[in-house]
Amino acid sequence: MKTEYLNPLRWKRPVLVSVFLAFIVIWFLFIDTYSLLTRYQLESRKDVLIEKTAEYNMMTQELKEKINALENNPHLLEKIAREEYGMRKPGETVYRIEPAE
């Protein structure tokens, strides 16, 4: 019985296996190029980029609709030219009334 407790391989083998497995787990979690932390960071960055892409696609669609409206409606084009860019027809006088403060 005493020899079982004194046998160094009896207790060293489980300790060595545990240390080796712990090293492998730590390696995959933190050190490896494709570690879980790196994957998590890349996934969150991917989610942000997907959201931005969706926003830009929506903005592009709105701008295409505005362009289409301006190409097909000359009255709208004239209204925007007058109101936003201060344009006028030749010989026309424009009076701007500013609100009182």
pLDDT digit string (tens) for the chain, length 101 residues: 455 555 666 667 778 888 889 888 887 777 777 777 888 899 999 999 999 999 999 999 999 999 999 999 999 999 999 888 888 888 888 887 888 87
DSSP 1: -
C-alpha atoms less than 13 angstroms from C-alpha of 97 in its C-beta half-sphere: 0
Residue 58 pLDDT: 98
> Would you say the pTM of this structure is higher than 0.75?
no
Residue 48 pLDDT: 98
Cα gap 26→32, rounded to integer Å: 9
**Residues 37-73: b if buried by 16+ CB within 10 A, e if exposed:** eeeeeeeeeeeeeeeeeeeeeeeeeeeeeeeeeeeee
Residue 56 pLDDT: 98
Q: Identify the CA nearest to 29 among candidates 17, 19, 39.
A: 39
Domain boundaries, the chain: 49-86
Other C-beta atoms lying within 10 Å of the C-beta of residue 78: 12
